[in-house]
Structure 1
């Protein structure tokens, strides 16, 4: 009974976290406020600091809140194993790229289009799982991937209505940038997720220790990215320029994302996870239409959305063929 309660609680939290992160991030990138807008590169840095802090708290809890045991495990597993720690350099760099690209995507795409297009990470994760981990996909998985690609193609299909064409023409450049950012993020998410899983399976270290190692390099990459992309703005007005309650909410939700996914993997299964993803897409679409009012759905878009949602269900039908990790 308790496990069933935890299962649905974790799924509910996943729906809330995924939906609210996308909507609030989109809102924060389009909000017209006085003063400068917050720097996306700075938000990525702060989120990484929070992820490391939360992972350290969980390690501290796992060792009965003993400071001596906590220091000992960090020294043994991180400082005394430099080669194991260095294995996280590659996925950390890719995760940093992915996290920055998501801000670019949501600055140029409405929440509904972003949510549906980003489901292509299921495809990239599955393909990398087959090539890197030697997994075999069942008939339902391959069929779901084909349906997924068709659904995303329909979501991106241009509308033939004059008003929509005029709007699309005016924002064609930003739409292209947004879609390109999502596609690169999907590829990076798939590769980094499978690479990270491979490392976890090849070692006996806990996932929280690995998250600390990963976060250390992510923080390093994110900090240098911030300086290289927004260095002039940081030195002029500080890295926290434009921060407000909405920005803090975005950073917190992004930092908690990996923990929520870990809870779902522990307590739920692929089918229920697919249900949570589908529900998140539906909620995001409705709120994007009625509240943000930043897109006009068409019949083709609706058909594409149905196909994407169906694909997420079908993919989990035959069991755990491939992971769909999302640290961001």
Structure 2
């Protein structure tokens, strides 16, 4: 039993590293790839991911109830239909998560994968602040120190570098870079608030993780469809909801849907320290792949220093000091 728990812990962490890395890189590549015809709509991809997540969670609930259709119908009715107040509570984090998913497409359309990955670690700070203000959590000295190191690292990552490009090109690049950074910053704050709000709900209920994901997915689908109509309604009317979709697009959709399920497994089988390792490994892998394969990133020494500080802060934030053993207790 203990071996199984340890095995599940490291498998879930390994999958989280791969999911984070592959999602960022494939999303970035899919948004910058030049191809004939219209490019796929981010709002459409968000909706597709929500549908896939709901379908997957329903299958998992179906499996948990011994593949019984009656059992599935009963649990969905009891946990979702007959509990409207609890279900409606999840509309808030669901709407924020939908906004966040759309912002990530904007960010990766204007930033290279590595800068996005490192800057997005700012969500550790926003999560900590919301945790203190909403849950009354007390942070250790190591965690506060890690937040200071994190902010320093983020500042160094965004430190401007000299280029030999023309003035007009610089202005366009600077404008695009600012738009990407703004999207990441808003996503960090939305991620921190939604995560803590969702954690607060989880501590007040005993529903399964899959049921909660179904509830989130239902509202996410509703908000996503509203986003499609508001922002891309005309283009959908002209070329369809799935315009520009290819194998790479469906890979992005699948990875995005997988994210919520993987995080649920990590929360169940892992801890903060190993979760920090997973986040740091994802940043390192993204850096290597973006530099050697995508070739869309030319790091400077200042960037490497900032990235090192961000990764160190991630490790330090999950550090838990082992209490000293009292000799009298031996």
TM superposition score category, shorter chain reference: over 0.9
Which runs of 4 or more aligned residues in structure 1 lie more than 3 Å from their structure 2 counterparts after TM superposition? 160-170
The residue that corresponds to 1:79 in the other structure is 81
- Which of 249, 259, 268 aligns to 1:247? It is 249
The residue that corresponds to 1:188 in the other structure is 190
Say whether the 8 Å CA contact 2:40–2:242 is kept in structure 1: yes
| Structure 1 residue matching 2:319: 3-state secondary structure | coil
- Alignment size in residue pairs: 319
The residue that corresponds to 1:122 in the other structure is 124
TM-score of the pair, normalised by structure 2: 0.93
Say whether the 8 Å CA contact 2:65–2:72 is kept in structure 1: yes
TM-score of the pair, normalised by structure 1: 0.94
Unaligned runs of at least 5 residues, structure 2? 322-330
Deviation at 1:165, TM superposition (A): 8.9
| Structure 2 residue matching 1:119: 3-state secondary structure | helix
Structure with the greater alpha carbon radius of gyration: 2
Unaligned runs of at least 5 residues, structure 1? 320-328
Say whether the 8 Å CA contact 2:150–2:309 is kept in structure 1: yes
Deviates more, 1:153-162 or 1:47-56: 153-162
- Aligned-partner Cα distance in 2 for 1:140–1:160: 35
- Aligned-partner Cα distance in 1 for 2:120–2:170: 20
Say whether the 8 Å CA contact 1:144–1:311 is kept in structure 2: yes
Say whether the 8 Å CA contact 1:159–1:165 is kept in structure 2: no
Say whether the 8 Å CA contact 2:23–2:255 is kept in structure 1: yes
Deviation at 1:230, TM superposition (A): 0.4
The residue that corresponds to 1:112 in the other structure is 114
- Which of 160, 163, 170 aligns to 2:162? It is 160
Deviates more, 1:226-235 or 1:64-73: 64-73
- Aligned-partner Cα distance in 1 for 2:106–2:169: 20
Deviation at 1:161, TM superposition (A): 4.9
- Aligned-partner Cα distance in 1 for 2:189–2:35: 33
The residue that corresponds to 1:98 in the other structure is 100
Deviation at 1:19, TM superposition (A): 0.4
| Structure 2 residue matching 1:217: 3-state secondary structure | helix
User: Where in structure 2 are the equivalents of 1:1-328 lying within 5 Å?
Assistant: 1-162=3-164, 168-318=170-320
- Aligned-partner Cα distance in 1 for 2:93–2:10: 30
Deviation at 1:169, TM superposition (A): 4.0
Q: Please tell me the root mean square deviation across aligned C-alpha atoms, in Å.
A: 1.5
The residue that corresponds to 2:325 in the other structure is none
